[in-house]
Amino acid sequence: MTKRLFIPALLGALALAAPARALDLTQMTETERDLFRAEVRAYLMENPQVIIEAVNAMEQRNAEAQAQADLTIVSDNAEAIFSDGFSYVGGNPDGDITLVEFMDYKCGYCKRAYTEVEKLLSADGNIRFIVKEFPILGEQSMLASRYVIAAKQIAGGDAYKALHDALMVFNGDITLPALARLSSTYGLDDDAIRARMGSEEVTREIAETRALAQTLRITGTPTFVVEDEMVRGYLPFDQMQMIVDDKRDEG
pLDDT at res. 211: 97
pLDDT at res. 6: 46
Interacting residues of 234 by C-beta distance below 8 A, sequence separation 6+? 109, 112, 113, 116, 222
Global model pTM greater than 0.95:
no
CA atoms within 13 A on the CB side of 15: 8
> E-assigned strands of the chain?
88-91, 97-103, 127-133, 223-226, 229-232
Distance between CA atoms of 120 and 91, rounded to whole angstroms?
A: 10
Distance between CA atoms of 198 and 220, rounded to whole angstroms?
A: 24
For 35-44, 81-90, 240-249, which range has the lowest pLDDT when averaged over its residues? Answer: 35-44
Distance between CA atoms of 104 and 144, rounded to whole angstroms?
A: 9
210 band by pLDDT with thresholds 50, 70 and 90? very high
Q: Kindly report, residue by residue over 114-169, the tens digit of the pLDDT.
A: 999 999 999 999 999 999 999 999 999 999 999 999 999 999 999 999 999 999 99
Question: Would strands 97-103 and 127-133 be described as parallel, antiparallel, or unpaired?
Answer: parallel
The 3-state DSSP class for residue 89 equals: strand
Asked if residue 8 lies in contact with residue 51, where contact means CB atoms within 8 angstroms, the answer is: no
55-67 mean pLDDT? 68
Instruction: Answer yes or no: is pLDDT of 2 > 50.
Output: no
For residue 84, the surrounding DSSP H or E stretch is none
Instruction: Answer yes or no: is pLDDT of 85 > 80.
Output: yes
Interacting residues of 248 by C-beta distance below 8 A, sequence separation 6+? 96, 97
Radius of gyration of the chain (CA): 25
Distance between CA atoms of 123 and 147, rounded to whole angstroms?
A: 29
Asked if residue 152 lies in contact with residue 185, where contact means CB atoms within 8 angstroms, the answer is: no
